[in-house]
Amino acid sequence: KELGCRTTHCNLEVVHRSTLVFLATKPHILPGVLEEIRPAVGPHHIVVSLVAGITIQTLQRLLPPWTKVLRIMPNLPCVVQAGAMVFSRGSNAGDEEAALLKSLLSSCGLCEEVPESYIDIHTGLSGSGVAYVYLFAEALAEGAVKMGMPGALASRIAAQTLLGAAKMLLETGEHPAKLRGDVCTPGGTTIYALHQLEKGALRATVMDAVEAATNRACDMAKD
């Protein structure tokens, strides 16, 4: 309402008044909603599901057979237009629909078309990945607090460090290993710190995390 959008309690009204319909319910609610709106869905509609774990196959099964369906997985920073989204198209969605979705969503961040099998991986990497970054930021700040810096300042600097590093990665297109090497002066502070991170097998732990979230996404989709 604050953004100036109209709201309603009626799902059918949304379908009647829209060409592009986003499905943004919780997974267990969706089958009921699809049954409800199915009669109102026409060949002009483009149905885009944001619902975790519901496959294109399931969506197409619960909607009229000629429906243009696409599935998208966003992540939280879409709210600040720095999101990472991947989408896949169903059997009836063509280049026009894909291009429309991509151009619309690029306003929220990075938006790429992928095979559907990548969507669970995206969950593990970037959907949940945001939380890993928050954890890392918290830990960085705590390290600084331990060494004597006030918490609020440490948190701000931690966040800016992550933002800056990410920006350099995206803008230079350089391999992260190379950028890491560029920061490491021989015998300097950075290499000492990196050694600690390697001792803690940080890399393997992060790989484990992505793997765990991806597997969980796959398992949940089967339920």
Partner 1 sequence: MSVGFIGAGQLAFALARGFTAAGVLAAHKIMASSPDTDLPTVSGLRKIGVNFTVSNKDTVKSSDVLFLAVKPPIIPFILEEVGPDIEARHIVVSCAAGVTISSIEKKLSTFCPTPKVIRCMTNTPVIVREGATVYATGTHADVEDGKLLEQLMASVGFCTEVEEDLIDAVTGLSGSGPAYAFTALDALADGGVKMGLPRRLAVRLGAQALLGAAKMLLESEQHPGQLKDNVCSPGGATIHALHFLESGGFRSLLINAVEASCIRTRELQHLADQEKISPAAIKKTLLDKVKLESPSLSVASASKVSLFTNKSKKN
Please give the distance of CA 152 from its chain centroid, rounded to a whole number. 27
61 residue type, one letter? R
Q: Which of 79, 15, 14, 85 is nearest to 50 (CA)?
A: 85
Q: Is 112 among the residues that bind partner 1 (CB under 8 A)?
A: no
- Does residue number 207 form part of the binding site for partner 1 (CB under 8 A)? yes
In angstroms, give the least distance from the CB of 183 to partner 1.
13
Per rule CB under 8 A, is residue 201 in the interface with partner 1?
yes
Closer by beta carbon to partner 1, 22 or else 118: 118
Sequential DSSP letters for 143-192: HHHHTT--HHHHHHHHHHHHHHHHHHHHHH---HHHHHHHH--TTSHHHH
1 lies in the site for partner 1, by CB under 8 A = no
Q: Does 146 bind partner 1 (CB under 8 A)?
A: no
Please name the residues in contact with 111: beta carbons below 8 A apart, sequence gap of 6 or more.
Answer: 83, 85, 86, 87, 101, 102, 105
Residues composing the chain: 223
Among 195, 212, 215, 219, binds partner 1 (CB under 8 A): 195
The window from 5-13, 93-101, 140-148, 206-214 that contacts partner 1 (CB under 8 A) reads 206-214
Nearer to partner 1, 126 or 155 (CB): 126
**Number of neighbouring beta carbons within 10 Å of residue 143:** 13
Inter-residue contact 70 to 98 (CB < 8 Å): yes
Q: Look-up: residue for tokens 């309402």?
A: 1
Q: Is 170 in the site for partner 1 (CB under 8 A)?
A: no
Tell whether residue 190 is a contact of partner 1 (CB under 8 A).
Answer: no
Asked if residue 188 binds partner 1 (CB under 8 A), the reply is no
Q: Which stretch binds partner 1 (CB under 8 A): 23-31, 40-48, 103-111, 195-203?
A: 195-203
Q: Interface residues with partner 1 (CB under 8 A)?
A: 175-178, 181, 195, 198-201, 203-204, 207-208, 211
